[in-house]
């Protein structure tokens, strides 16, 4: 194990690793096909847009005015009027059974109060067991009723001789970066980072641990191959597999899901390669801790779960307690998600992402150094 770095020994290790991958099609398939399959699966499954909420109605008014209001709810894409009931008990039974998530109750004097231009209440019942759906339903119902109230007030004032009614304050809204507020456009870039981290880290950890279980690692140690040649030689094939997988899921996101890359694709690939080095180092670090593939899987999932919850993939980090934000700050995926969404959605350049890039570079160097040192110590 003495001597200088040898390119011949290094290339021999790379060839040996590629031969082993060819003899192990399962691992090769996981590295290439699994990211694509997971992106297709989760790309359709993870959707935070809440619409077409099943809704029941108890219309005690049975009037033109109440039917007009019900139609306003029906034509919106937020509510699907599925049940017309005759009592509050029926509404409660439907909500208990989960058949509806919202309900509208019109009072008997609804039409009379509208004609008299008097305030009238519509009761809106919501299933709060799903807070996200309940909040969306509540805000949508309030928007629909307020718009209808303004229309009725404008109609009443025109009858009184006012030709034009102007509101004292009007909001001119403009949604930037994602005008349609499509959750797919937001989720897909995050999924790319999450899937690449999990698949590449697991693949590398399993490959290293499998060498230990088969005893082939000890056979390599007694040869003239130096530890750095062995480590780098075994990592290079997985870097290439990871890069190919990244390009594959990137093209799938663009051409299949229709998520455009507004920034530089070259910059995205370069920073994606930096992140791949970090995740492969995480896998190698796991292999220095675990003695079996089962242990490697347990350690990997102990890393994966916090990455999903604390990186900002699902929940905004700004809403988390400060201590939790600090914990999320030591997860490399946190910064790669900022890079992905910055380039995908905003089209920003490195001038806006240099802090995330610098932090990710520091993580890559630190994790690689610790992993190589531990691996060298175990080999020697």
User: Pairing state of beta strands 123-126 and 53-59?
Assistant: unpaired
Kind and range of the H or E run holding 278: helix 265-289
Predicted TM-score of the model (pTM): 0.82
At 261 the pLDDT is 93
Tell me the helix, strand and coil percentages in the chain, rounded to 5: 70, 5, 25
d(CA 285, CA 368): 8
User: Pairing state of beta strands 53-59 and 79-84?
Assistant: parallel
Torsion of CA 370, 371, 374, 378, to 10 degrees: -170
d(CA 85, CA 69): 16
Contact call for residues 30 and 204 (beta carbons, < 8 A): no
At 1 the pLDDT is 42
At 105 the pLDDT is 94
In a structure prediction context, what are the per-residue pLDDT tens digits for the chain, which is 380 residues long? 445 777 888 888 888 888 877 777 777 777 778 888 889 988 888 877 778 899 999 999 999 999 999 999 999 888 999 999 999 999 999 999 989 999 999 999 999 988 888 888 899 999 988 887 888 889 889 899 988 888 887 777 777 766 666 666 667 778 888 888 888 898 999 999 999 898 888 888 887 787 777 766 666 666 667 767 777 787 888 888 889 999 999 999 999 999 999 999 999 999 999 999 999 889 888 888 888 888 888 888 888 888 888 999 888 898 899 999 999 999 999 999 999 999 999 999 999 999 999 999 999 999 888 887 877 666 55
DSSP-derived letter for residue 292 is: S
């Amino acid at each position: 194990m003495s001597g200088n770095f040898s390119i011949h020994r290094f290339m021999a290790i790379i060839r040996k690793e590629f031969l082993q991958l060819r003899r192990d099609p399962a691992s090769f398939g996981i590295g290439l096909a699994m990211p694509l399959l997971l992106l297709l699966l989760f790309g359709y499954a993870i959707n935070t847009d809440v619409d077409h909420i099943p809704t029941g109605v108890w219309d005690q008014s049975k009037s033109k005015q109440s039917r007009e209001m019900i139609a306003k709810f029906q034509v919106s894409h937020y509510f699907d009027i599925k049940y017309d009931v005759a009592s509050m008990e029926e509404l409660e039974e439907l909500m208990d059974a989960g058949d509806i998530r919202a309900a509208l109750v019109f009072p008997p004097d609804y039409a009379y109060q509208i004609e008299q231009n008097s305030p009238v209440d519509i009761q809106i019942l919501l299933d709060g067991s799903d807070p996200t759906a309940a909040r969306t339903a509540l805000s949508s119902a309030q928007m629909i009723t307020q718009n209808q109230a303004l229309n009725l007030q404008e109609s009443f004032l025109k009858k009184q001789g006012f030709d034009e009614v102007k509101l004292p304050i009007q909001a001119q809204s403009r949604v930037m970066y994602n005008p349609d507020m499509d959750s797919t456009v937001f989720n897909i870039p995050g999924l790319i980072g999450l899937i690449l981290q999990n698949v590449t880290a697991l693949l590398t950890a399993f490959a290293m641990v499998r060498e230990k279980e088969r005893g082939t690692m000890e056979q390599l140690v007694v040869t003239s191959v130096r530890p750095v040649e062995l480590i780098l030689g075994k990592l290079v094939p997985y870097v290439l597999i990871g890069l190919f997988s990244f390009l594959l899921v990137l093209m799938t996101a663009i051409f299949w899901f229709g998520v455009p890359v507004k920034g530089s694709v070259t910059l995205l690939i370069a920073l994606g390669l930096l992140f791949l080095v970090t995740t492969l180092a995480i896998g190698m670090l796991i292999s220095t801790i675990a003695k079996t593939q089962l242990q490697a899987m347990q350690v990997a999932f102990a890393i994966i779960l916090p990455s999903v919850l604390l990186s900002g993939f699902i929940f905004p980090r700004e809403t988390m307690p400060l201590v939790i934000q600090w914990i999320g700050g030591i997860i490399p995926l946190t910064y790669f998600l900022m890079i992905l969404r910055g380039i995908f959605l905003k089209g920003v350049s490195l001038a806006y992402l240099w802090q995330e890039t610098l932090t990710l570079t520091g993580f890559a160097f630190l994790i690689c150094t610790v992993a190589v040192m531990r691996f060298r110590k175990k080999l020697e």
